[in-house]
């Protein structure tokens, strides 16, 4: 009998507290993210989803607690350790946060320029590869961020997040502002990349379609902590008003039906 290999936590958050003045956003928050999973972070508006992401990637200093990413303490560890682990993750923010004065290719090259010593030719070739990996046409390489559609900007941000071949990708509201077809295409892309590259994906989202389509697990923020975590199918059983409303409401039912129909069609085709 084959035994399942033990799960490896690539992110370990313990006793996290985030506070802005008198406002406590997180209090004793704990979370594990497993290697290779797509984890969806959900919760009502203002529950601190983005703050959690920003704290893990070092853009916000917590009031208390520890965070280990790939075994490195990114809160209390040395700057050197932090920098070494930073290269092993990529982040794509909601609005893309691309450098407006750089072309798409230059944006994707930027992390390589900062962290690697590569020739211009190699950097350009790798940049073009990442850009094609996210489904953008070669023509997009020379465009400026202001010349891109919202969906293209998100893909360009993803290409930049993939620049250093990361093990973990953080996505903040990746499908926000996309039309349903664009959002579904983006979900598919994330799913494909996750399988092909063995990525761990930490995704803050409000999008129920994404949660049903690509997330292995969800973690729900409520009451200043991770109130519930597990496969999405378990969420309707959680006794919390927001979780009940979110996961059993008409939008959740529609998203679930959509995924079931897609799975049925796929199994008929195979």
Q: Residues in the site for ligand ATP, rule: CB under 6 A?
A: 20, 25, 43, 45-51
Largest CA distance in the chain: 57
Contact (CB, 8 A) for 49 and 43: yes
Q: Which is nearer to ligand ATP, 36 or 150 (CB)?
A: 150
Task: Give the C-alpha separation, 157 to 19, whole Å.
Answer: 29
Look at residue 142 and give its three-state secondary structure.
helix
Burial of 119 from C-beta contacts in 10 A (0-12 / 13-18 / 19+):
exposed
Nearer to ligand ATP, 61 or 270 (CB): 61
For the CB of residue 205, give the shortest distance to ligand ATP in the complex, in Å. Answer: 9
Cα-flanking dihedrals φ and ψ of residue 203, to 5°? -125, 115
Nearer to ligand ATP, 43 or 151 (CB): 43
Cβ nearer to ligand ATP, comparing 42 with 108: 42
Asked whether the beta carbons of 256 and 212 are under 8 A apart, the reply is: yes
C-beta atoms surrounding 74 within 10 Å: 20
Closest CB to ligand ATP among residues 123, 246: 246
Rounded to an integer, what distance in angstroms lies between the CA atom of residue 57 and that of residue 86? Answer: 8
Q: Which residues contact 225 (CB under 8 A, 6 or more apart)?
A: 26, 27, 28, 29, 30
CA distance 71 to 51: 21
Give every CB contact of residue 148 below 8 A, 6+ residues apart in sequence.
104, 140, 156
Nearer to ligand ATP, 26 or 153 (CB): 26
The CB-of-196 to ligand ATP minimum distance in angstroms stands at 29
* Cα(132)–Cα(128) distance, integer angstroms: 6
Question: In the complex, what is the shortest distance from the CB of residue 212 to ligand ATP, in angstroms, rounded to a whole number?
Answer: 19
> Least distance in Å: CB of 63 to ligand ATP?
12
The CB-of-47 to ligand ATP minimum distance in angstroms stands at 4
Shortest spacing between CB 32 and ligand ATP, in angstroms: 20
Cβ proximity to ligand ATP, 25 vs 189, nearer residue: 25
Q: Least distance in Å: CB of 94 to ligand ATP?
A: 8
């Amino acid at each position: 009998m084959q035994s399942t290999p033990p799960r490896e936590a690539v992110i370990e958050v313990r006793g996290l507290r985030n506070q802005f003045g008198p406002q406590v956003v997180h209090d004793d928050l704990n979370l594990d993210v497993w290697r290779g999973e797509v984890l969806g972070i959900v919760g009502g508006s203002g529950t601190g989803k983005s703050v959690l992401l920003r704290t893990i990637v070092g853009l916000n200093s917590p009031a208390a607690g520890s965070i280990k990413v790939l075994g490195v303490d990114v809160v209390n560890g040395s700057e050197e350790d932090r920098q070494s682990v930073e290269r092993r993750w990529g982040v794509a923010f909601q609005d893309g946060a691309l450098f407006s004065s750089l072309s798409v290719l230059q944006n994707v090259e930027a992390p390589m320029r900062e962290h690697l010593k590569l020739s211009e030719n190699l950097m350009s070739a790798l940049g073009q590869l990442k850009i094609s990996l996210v489904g953008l046409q070669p023509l997009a390489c020379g465009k400026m961020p202001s010349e891109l559609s919202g969906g293209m900007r998100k893909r360009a941000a993803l290409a930049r997040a993939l620049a250093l071949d990361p093990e973990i990708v953080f996505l903040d509201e990746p499908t926000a502002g996309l039309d349903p077809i664009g959002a579904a295409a983006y979900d598919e892309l994330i799913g494909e990349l996750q399988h092909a590259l063995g990525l761990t994906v930490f995704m803050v989202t409000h999008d129920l379609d994404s949660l049903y389509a690509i997330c292995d697990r969800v973690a729900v923020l409520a009451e200043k902590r991770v109130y519930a975590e597990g496969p999405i199918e378990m969420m309707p059983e959680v006794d919390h008003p927001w979780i009940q409303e979110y996961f059993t409401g008409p939008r959740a039912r529609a998203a679930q039906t959509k995924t079931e129909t897609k799975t049925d069609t796929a199994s008929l085709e195979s």
